[in-house]
Structure 1
Amino acid sequence: MGQKHYLFLVIIITILNLEIEYSMSVNGGNDKEALLGLKSSLDPSTALNNWSGNDICKWVGVKQCLRGRVSKLVLENMKLTGTINSTHLNQLDQIRVLSFKQNSISGQIPNLSGLVNLKSVYFSHNNFSGEFPASLITLHRLKIVVLSNNQLSGEIPVTVVSIKRLYCLYLDDNRFSGGVPPLNQSGLKLLNLSNNQLSGEIPVTPVLVKFNATSFSGNVGLCGDAINIECGLASSPAGSPENPPVGKSHRHRRIRNIIIIASSIGGFLLLCVFITLVVICCNKKSKKRSVEEGGKVAAAAVEGGGGGGGSGGATTSGKNGGSRFSPEGDDGGIGKLVFFGGGDSPEMSYSLEDLLKASAETLGRGTVGSTYKAVMESGFIVTVKRLKDARYPRVEEFRRHVDVIGWLRHQNLVPLRAYFQAKEERLLVYDYFPNGSLFSLIHGSRTSAGGKPLHWTSCLKIAEDLATGLLYIHQNPGLTHGNLKSSNVLLGSDFESCITDYGLMSFKNPDFPEESSASSLFYRAPECRDPRKPLTQPADVYSFGVLLLELLTGKTPFQDLVLEHGSNIPKWVKSVREEETESGDEPTSSGNEASEEKLTALLNIAMACISLAPENRPVMKEVLRMIRETRAEGAHVSSNSSDHSPGRWSDTVQSLPRDEHLSI
């Protein structure tokens, strides 16, 4: 009897398995029909001609499948037109990442309520019209919403606050009107509502107060602390119906602001008196400098400049439309906050006093000084590098060199916005990049040498970004980076790679020991490891080659790669990637012939860059040409993503130190 029960149980399990397999095959078939339905309405240019055969997981744009179902669909920059059929799209109910970026799709954004597993939606740079898609509110796993550069209108619904896992909301360059929703999701880190027709006061919530004016610029009707526009004053001409007389509450606000300003000025003057006394005492003790790091950026600047940080001052015109804050008693350029490119950054309306009062969080200590995240009282955030342990050139020498790097502007460089110098104090002010560094992308929070090698498409995109930025630096005669490494590459809003700390090694004090990690030495060319040797552009090419090997292997160079592996580097790189594939950690499957060709091409470029003889290394113009040729040859065979594909980052971004793994 027991044997019969056992056989009966086996039969039942077998039938259930057959039903599951049948269901999966049917759903897979539905996915095929759904994709072909989308193609018929969106693809008159036949960009999706390879959508044939039964293995839909190999079709262009199908980045990933789960058990035969489409989980990532990335159709970017493919000249798609027409409208999206919501019936076909909602059949793809296993999709996690959906992107139609940079096409010409029109009509309303379709109902997406059937995509219950959707985490990331990218519909930017199209011709979508209509209102904010209400169906997004119902998707409880949704984290990323990018609808920028369309023709969407109407109000942003207040119900958007119910998207609990929201991490990124980009609605810029549309026609949205009405007010800003009181967004308060703790996980919201990226927000852009700029260039719409929004109006009213920006809500004060614990989350929204963290965003500065860049998130709201281009909305003439908005007001509030985030954009430094007082409500009731700036939106309309005085006396117009839209701008009624200032009431009692406004007078109270003005009185409160006057009290705050007076208190701040009084406190600042007292601070200056105290600092002056401290400086006098220090001068009696051989003028020994004592600056407490990690507290206020004010401490560093005021103590170094004596009375240079006073509250009084005048604003004068600077080079090419820039501006300078010149405190009273200024002597020959001492104590000035000098801005670069003021015309291209409307947020740079802060003064020296604002910077001095900013709270500072230490981000790291490097070869020529320490780096801080400085948060001003207005909420505006900048990155400040203090050249504490640098050599101190004469004022004019420092100014001439900073002028060279300060006016560099390129999409793959972190812009230097301003500088301050006073006696032996040097502060450099850069844009703040909240997405972190390339080092974090590769290695996450791990401090060991181990990390995850990136997919070859990611390596190629990053390599082109870095080569483009480095070539721009090298096009300035005699200018080098001198310290290129993954921690000196920051990730922009679209996760583009941007080089920072360029041109600063000329300030390095050769007599001062290295403070950076041991691996920094092995990014440098052998001929430049002596700190007294001059820096060269071929040495930057060597560092670029080492960085490319780091992308391919996920290994930080804690040893000299050239001496350790020599001519066996290609074999070592491939073995590392094979280990990751066997362990199931390879970012995406890459065992096909096309992937091997791209990896080989990247390795050949890296090997040329790390040649021991500087004269044998290619110049950056040649390196960039080789990378672009490799990418162009791979464009028609890659079915994963285009240049800025969110799917391209979906696995590598997991190493970033964030609340949850994101599919970006």
Structure 2
Amino acid sequence: MMACSTRNHRYMVTNNILLTITLTCLITLCYGQEPDSTLLLKFKSSLKNATSSLSNWDPSVQLCNVNISNWNGVLCSNGKLIGLRLESMRLSGYLDMDTLSELTSLRTISVMNNNFEGPFPDVKKIGGRLRGVFLSNNRFSGEVPDDAFAGMKSIRRILMANNEFRGKIPTSLLGIPKLVELQLQDNQFDGNIPAFGQQDFQLNVANNRLEGPIPSQLSTQSASSFSGNLDLCGKPMPPCPPPKKKKKGIPVLTIILAAIGGLVILAIIFFALFLFHKQRKKTTQYEKSSVQNLNKKPSENNNFPNKPEKADKYTRSDKGKLYFVRRDRENFDLEDLLRAPAEVLGSGSFGSSYKADLPIGKPIVVRRFRQMNNVGKEDFHEHMRRLGKLSHPNVLPLVAFYYRKEEKLLVTDFVDNGSLASHLHGKRSPNPPCLGWPTRLKIIKGVARGLAYLYRELPTLTLPHGHLKSSNVLLDHNFEPLVADYALVPVINKDHAKQFMVAYKSPEYMQNERLTRKTDVWSLGILILELLTGRFPANYLKQGKGANADLAVWVNSVVREEWTGEVFDKDMNTNKHNCEGEMLKLLKIGMCCCEMDVGRRWDLMEALDKIEELKDSDGEDYSSNYYPSEGEMYSSKAITDDDFSFSRNV
């Protein structure tokens, strides 16, 4: 019996040990691996302004239904969470990387176009499984640790553009074998560019403070990817200066011989000048007659300006070639253009504009640009060809262009009804056409649609327009608007752009010297207020930093004092129409677009959606068949696998 008792005791002890181990494993399993939905809610608690945009993050709702997510900003594949796409949600706060690291199937994360700030997020905590990190267009700042990407062997795309990062580019990026795209433009990185050697690699480091020679492995990259760094050299940028040789001591005899040689050369020069002066007297009369002949003006004085001065430079071999980017226009030579009767339309901050009447087709407009040397010839041609492919009823098409290092010409159609600015602020004719509320509503709807089209077709540009103002909105004979002077920021010299372009007068640039995809929305808001009030925005006349949005400030002050009726332009003849309610709605839209805080400012889709809802006095809706969906607006490039090929912002 003692033996049986001993065996039973050992059996009970063994069972207790196994039970303890089992319970321990169960407790570890329960508390160590929380569900993805629980982890996401924990991550959400670290964010600010997430209540509305992530309102459907509900633990009672299934996270993934095969490849479809029931939660905003979550990407699913085969029933698992594979990515977070929290773009353009006005989010701020703290990115809790410790919590994200527990999402074992997370492969990519994007928080682009938000208001996050502070140091670089420690994405390394997520581990080597991460394939995409997208942080562009936020307010992250400080130095990026050199080992920030150590061990992240699977990452393919890293987008950190338009932040406030500084210091050296992390060398840990060199150890990522699958890296195919790195965007660091519009930051404050300094030092040399590391020698990236990955295959099919795309790099953009424009507008930083980098210096030194560009590594030979990157010589095939676009020159625009390195522009805005004053001290970079080597292909594809200008060649580096040769190294200075160490000066050696010069023998005394060499100095003496050089001095004697110099005296001899000086004597020869004086003798040559004497002979030249003597011969000059004989040819004075001939020269006078020749100069008189050259100074005679031709009988036809209406030709394209400055033809005699520049004709040889325009017409010599390939330098005189016009490049046509549209197939629906009849081609002509530069000589035809120079011979055509021309009328000066005006002179702006970029250069002069001329109307030319060619014997073939309709009149055209030629714009001359002298401050357009930000990119080289190949990049300029590529950008212009890209603009030439644009086609929309509310976007003025580019017809042709001409490239010379010192000067560029852009050719467009002539729009016979002038600019919106001329109708709002120009001299009034005896019987001016009525710019009433229905017409102004049609104009602003057309402008918004044209801007939305530019956003869709130019997803890689931070500023698809960059210079939206009333003088760049042209009106055809039916008062249908055509947006002009768009997408010029990449080719305009930076100093000139900062001094004159509208985007650089926005609150975010004045305060922090940063631009976002919402900067064009601010310009749209100012245009709306100008259209409603009839007042010219005084900030357009001010150059450089410090130009305040006077019109928006004035409107806010009037509305705050509840004098709303004093805001609207009396020339709209509102007494003839029952439209004040709709006008007040548009006023609110303009104020929301002009919000000083970028985080609180509406994005373009929200503004466009509200503008399209507006009606004229008879309840007639001007909506057209064209209305881009959110997918068209922000996803020109589709998401592929779990790799996150987002539409990219330059």
Q: TM-score w.r.t. structure 2 length?
A: 0.42
Q: TM-score w.r.t. structure 1 length?
A: 0.41
Which of these two proteins has the greater Rg computed from alpha carbons? 2
